[in-house]
Homo-oligomer: A and B are copies of this chain.
Amino acid sequence: MIIMKFTEITSLQNPKIKQLLKLRDRSCRDDTGLFLIEGYRELLRAVTGGQEIISLFFSPTHFLGSNEEWLLYRALDGGAELFSCSKDVFEKASYRDRPDGLMAVAKQKSLTLKELENAMGASPLFVVAEGIEKPGNLGTILRSADGVGADGVIVCDKCTDLFNPNVVRASVGTLFTQRVCEATSLETIAWLKSKGIAIVAATPSATLEYTSMDMTKPVAIAVGTEQLGLSELWLREADIAVSIPMCGVADSLNVATATTILLYEALRQRKCP
């Protein structure tokens, strides 16, 4: 047992816990530039992905594994303050049905287009997510972008904020390891065009099927809102528009599902050209 310095919390009235609960609201996240990370897997990826942790709350009775102590040590080492919570306090502060004893307050961080550029490969593959409303969808898009090893995700004209607890959760922490950028649609379009990256608009109205296009060249797959799809701007500025065949009665797939299909087709083509 490594000796670690921490403060004990036994009351929900503790101001640190009150702040933790407030961070569930977007207004508090926007005002403070902070956000919540809950869960071992998510925190592990945050810590290893270089995410700055301000404070880490833990409840040993909820720990499921044996590496939690190592994680606490890593966070402490990175400058986080540690708080040991009583079982009761942790359960009430937790965002989950089955808490695993770890929750943190961290500093929001996303990249600029310039930073994205510095890290991109020879034939980059990007996702552009325009105006996504549901945190779960944005999180799933991040998870799939991680799955195919994409060069980054650009969130345009955001509706849900990237740091919503459900984005963190649905992304299973890939939010912290993926290159994520927030920008306006106009900036993003200008940047993609200047870099010679083809904009592929995913839209049910396209006649070209996604499997018929060459995705081995530099591409940005653009997807739009759950209700209306991509805006006129993106449809107009796209180099090519593709659709996913729908052979049944439904006329479209969920936006995160559609993005995943396109990303994995790009990966397939890139692996077996």
Binding site for B on A (CB under 8 A): 45, 48-49, 140, 143-149, 172-174, 177-178, 211, 244-250, 253-254, 256-257, 260-261, 264-265, 267-268, 271-272
Contact = CB atoms under 8 A, between A and B. Distances in A.
Contacts of A143: 250, 253-254, 257
A254 B172 CA distance: 10
B149 A248 contact: yes
A197 to B, nearest CB: 19
A149 B247 CA distance: 5
Given A211-B272, A253-B260, A260-B261, 13 more contacts: A140-B257, A143-B253, A144-B257, A147-B244, A147-B246, A147-B250, A172-B250, A173-B249, A173-B250, A257-B257, A264-B264, A264-B265, A265-B268
A257 B140 CA distance: 9
- Among A248, A254, A268, residue most surrounded by chain B Cβ atoms (within 10 Å): A248
A146 B268 contact: no
Q: What 3 A-B pairs are tightest by C-beta distance, nearest first?
A: A149-B247, A146-B248, A177-B249
Contacts of A149: 247-248
A177 B244 contact: no
Contact of A249 (B174, B248, B256): B174
Contact of A257 (B260, B265, B267): B260
Contacts of A246: 147
B147 A248 contact: yes
Contacts of A45: 249
B211 A254 contact: no
Contacts of A260: 253, 257, 260-261
